[in-house]
A and B are shown apart, each in its own frame.
Chain A
Amino acid sequence: MPLNKAVFGRAMLLLTAVGFAALLGLGAGLVWLVDEARGYATGVAATQEVRVKLSQALSLLQDAETGQRGYLLTGQEQYLGPYQDATTALPKVLPLLAEQVIRDGGRPGPVQALQDLAERKLAELRETLALAEAGDREAAINRVRRGEGKEVMDSIRETLAGIESRSTTRLAERSQGLHRSSRALLLGAAGALGLVAIVAVGSAGLAFRYAGDLERARLEVEAANAGLEERVAERTALLQAANEEVQRFAYIVSHDLRAPLVNVMGFTAELEVAVAALDALLREAEAEAPHLVTDAAREAVTADIPEAIGFIRSSTERMDRLISAILRLSREGRRALAPEPVAMGALIAGIADSLRHQLAEAGAELTIEGSLPDIVTDRTALEQIFGNLIDNAVKYLDPARPGRITVTGRAARGLASFDVADNGRGIAPRDHGRIFELFRRSGAQDRPGEGIGLAHVRALARRLGGNVECDSTPGQGSVFRVTLPLAPLPSFGENTA
């Protein structure tokens, strides 16, 4: 699937989001693990504390028992020192131990049991010592011998061992938990890093592919452009060649058509000379021998031959004008155009000035309405275009009303358009296209002309890169609109006639 910009953007966003989420997860995991480790460290310290307190309690109880045994054996007061120290220390140590066990996560039960047992032991010690102090050492030793104190002491040892072993178990459990979490985190981190790596590789790949697609698309566009330019150049060259061919053809044809015409005209004149001689002969014959002159001979020499010569002459003259027109068009098509800035107002005013005589004769008036946009193009061609259009407007006015010819212009989007509008006789809609063809004319044929002017105007307008159109209502007037580029196009001056 080729990547478009939107798909690429979405994919990149998604990949970035995934990578970011993985990193976020990894960070959260780390925070969690640090917290776990801290909990573990606290646990280790608590266990250690419990152990210390346990051995302290045991050693105090043993000290108390050792003091009691020493006093009972010797009767000397100095052996009571450890006992007395222990009895003062124990009430402080045992609550601390309880507190510690609770903090370590242990049950209060066994510690309570331990406290009870310690009290029982201390009570037993107190009683035996009291008996001994009263002087009844025998009773005190008997009491010890009964083994009640030993039993209590054994229970104490068991309870202490139980508390310690449970604390150790808890520590082991915690340690295992920490191990598991760190392993899980390690796996999670590895996963996240893997994901990040995949995302990185994926987005790099995606970007690479996208860049590749872009590059390929650019190359394609470039190739297409190059091909297009080439094709345009080819077509232009072909068109130019075809146009040149047409121009050359028109030129050669008009030359070659003229040569026989010279003969037709020349020998027609020779005929006239000959007829003149015949005419003289006829007059002489009529004067001297009228019976020789037949009506047919007279008719032929005085009427038929001159009439025939007249038709031949007018036809050849007309044909010569047509050929000259073709020749002129062909020559105009080959003329090199020289673009220059042209002040349109002045140009139209100049044309109006040169037609002043015709305008006055027709009782017509030419006005330029508003200001006309100035353009850069071939001045001579422009003069011919507008000269022809205005000349036509003057030529085909309606005698029923005073002639009004107006020229307006505007510029938009690189094009200038000029309207030459008249209130003349107008042109039938079916002729709007036809009048631009060579030798075609419209309406009443009461004015001199060969049907060349508008064909010439259109050829020129197209050569300048523009066009000319006609809009007209018979009996109301005509508008000829010339559209031209404001500045010459790159193909300026190529033959498009």
Chain B
Amino acid sequence: MNTAAHAVTIVMIEDDEGHARLIEKNLKRAGLFNEVRHFASGTAALHHLLGPGRKQHRPLLVLLDLNLPDMSGTEILTQLKDDPELRLAPVIVLTTTDDEREIRRCYDLGCNVYITKPVNYETFAQAVRQLGLFLAVIQVPPAP
């Protein structure tokens, strides 16, 4: 595991507390002990990421749920990709839908990985663990 990956803060935008908990547990099981900041609404997440108190020059990874009560995940994705600094942060979309159009739309908007939340728990856990491995090997771009 490289050190750059350890420094990465994971921002999880997920309204379902259960999902958030399961993702955290499985990330830990995969051996990922990065700081995870959880936001249950798009507004809170955007305030943290883009608001006045945002922390500069810090490597980030965003886990994004598409079905949020206050705004759509694609809206958040668009805003992240419009920001000159944050657009470099990898975005992993986690959602219940496997609709091809929606997946293509997310990739068009600049999402890096798209993961369907399967109901079959083994698959899900495996997906999250693979994500952990993925995070361990990717080179998160250093802040400019």
Contacts and interface: CB of A to CB of B under 8 A. Distances in A.
A329 to B, nearest CB: 13
A270 B99 contact: no
Given A266-B22, A270-B25, A331-B99, A259 B121 contact: no
A314 to B, nearest CB: 12
Contacts of B117: 258, 262
Interface in A258-277: 258-263, 265-270
Contact of B96 (A262, A266, A269, A270): A262
A255 B67 CA distance: 9
B54 interface: no
Interface residues on A, range: 10 to 19
B125 A317 contact: no
A256 B25 CA distance: 23
Interface string A123-165: 0000000000000000000000000000000000000000000
Nearest to A262: B117
A420 to B, nearest CB: 30
Contacts of A260: 16, 18
Contacts of B125: 269
Most buried by B among A260, A268, A269: A269
Interface in A236-272: 255-256, 258-263, 265-270
Contact of B119 (A255, A256, A261, A267): A261
B22 A263 contact: yes
A438 to B, nearest CB: 20
A255 B97 contact: yes
B120 A266 contact: no
Contacts of B25: 270
A320 interface: yes
B122 A269 contact: yes
Contacts of A261: 119
B18 A262 contact: yes
A388 B19 CA distance: 36
B120 A265 contact: yes
Interface string B90-120: 0000001101000000000000000001111
A260 to B, nearest CB: 8
B124 interface: yes
A262 B120 CA distance: 8
Nearest to B16: A259
A316 interface: yes
A267 B25 CA distance: 11
A267 B18 contact: yes
Contacts of B119: 258, 261-262, 265, 316-317, 320
A255 B16 contact: no
A263 B18 contact: yes
Given A317-B119, A320-B119, A262 B124 contact: yes
A133 B40 CA distance: 179
A465 to B, nearest CB: 25
User: By CB atoms of chain B within 10 A, which of A256, A266, A331 has the most?
Assistant: A266
Nearest to B22: A266
Contacts of A331: 99
A258 B116 CA distance: 11
Nearest to A272: B121
A266 B18 contact: yes
B121 A255 contact: no
A259 B99 contact: no
B124 A266 contact: yes
A269 B125 CA distance: 10
**Interface centre among A263, A316, A317, by most B CB within 10 Å?**
A263
A270 B25 CA distance: 9
Contacts of B121: 265-266, 268-269
26 contacts: A255-B97, A258-B96, A258-B117, A259-B16, A259-B67, A259-B96, A262-B16, A262-B18, A262-B19, A262-B22, A262-B96, A262-B117, A262-B119, A262-B124, A263-B18, A263-B19, A265-B121, A265-B124, A266-B18, A266-B19, A266-B22, A267-B18, A268-B121, A269-B121, A270-B22, A320-B120
Given A258-B117, A262-B16, 15 more contacts: A255-B96, A259-B16, A259-B96, A260-B18, A261-B119, A262-B19, A262-B22, A262-B124, A263-B16, A265-B121, A266-B18, A266-B19, A269-B122, A320-B119, A320-B120
Interface of B: 16, 18-19, 22, 25, 67, 96-97, 99, 117-122, 124-125
Counting from the closest, the 5 A-B pairs by CB-CB distance are A263-B18, A269-B121, A266-B22, A320-B119, A258-B96
